[in-house]
Amino acid sequence: MADVMEMIGGYRLRNLLQSGQTSQVFEVVEPTSNRHFAMKLLLPEAADKAEHRNILFNEAEVGEKLTHANVIRIFKVSRSPTTPHFIMEFFPSGSLRLRLQAKDTAFIKEHARRIFKEMATGLAYMNAMGYVHRDVKPDNILVNPLGETKIIDFAITKKIPKGMARWFYRKGKPQGTPSFMSPEQINDEIPDARMDIYSYGCTLYELTTGRPPFRGSTPNDLLGRHFKEKPAPPTAYNPDLSDEFSQFVLKLLAKKKTDRPSNFHEVLMALKKVKQIYKSVTEKRDQ
């Protein structure tokens, strides 16, 4: 396990930002420029395992191709045998999951329009660049005190197959987070933007109601509910939500992907038409 003030790859570790099962994220300083970055570093016990290295390098390779205000920037990757890592922009903030855990509903309510719009804008860009994120959830959305938003974690992001690649697509083991997976992602069908649209809908549902649209007694029970259970309207759990916003979210959660908006540009247009998200909030519509 790495220590603060240690030097790795020309960067000094400053603060531990996040610790996971296979990796840690540090705030780091580049001594030559005094600039601050973030480093995602595999733990020693994961560094020599091909599966974990491949996941880290996939995330880095995807992120290096993306340049957008609402998507975290990844600048370079080190394939060191002992300290594999990548360097990304430092965005001092916490995830929306932390806001939910802190029950900071006032913050979410105040910045809802901006957060939802910036999430959709970043995902529209990723899809336009040919990628499906496949793990859209509050944990993977960073938001600062102003409501500025960045999408992170491309560990299971996939390229959208085109042309002949679609014919040769082979189903594998489903990947994702059960509470946020679309029916077609659970079936590991050919990825397209509507997978992310469904997950985005699940995320908005939890952010505004404090609970995901479906709950199950086991992971398989939960996955099954994405296919067969009709979600309760968000207004059932938060009567302060407007009916038009509630209907907007339910449209994103359509079981058939053909019943959802076909891309995030349509999502953004539909969101713009929602006059109020919360009944008790008078919004500034310049966001």
Give 258's contacts (C-beta < 8 A, 6+ positions apart): none
- In the block, which residue shows the tokens 């880290």? 56
CB 48 within 8 A of CB 30: no
Alpha-carbon distances, residue 194 vs 77, 235, 253, 280 (angstroms): 30, 24, 10, 31
Taking the CB of residue 50, how many other CB atoms lie within 10 A of it?
7
Catalytic residues: 135
Alpha-carbon distances, residue 271 vs 22, 117, 265, 267 (angstroms): 37, 8, 10, 6
Chain CA centroid to CA 177, Å:
11
CA distance 150 to 118: 8
Alpha-carbon distances, residue 117 vs 1, 165, 199 (angstroms): 38, 32, 15
What letter represents residue 22's amino acid? T
CA distance 123 to 151: 8
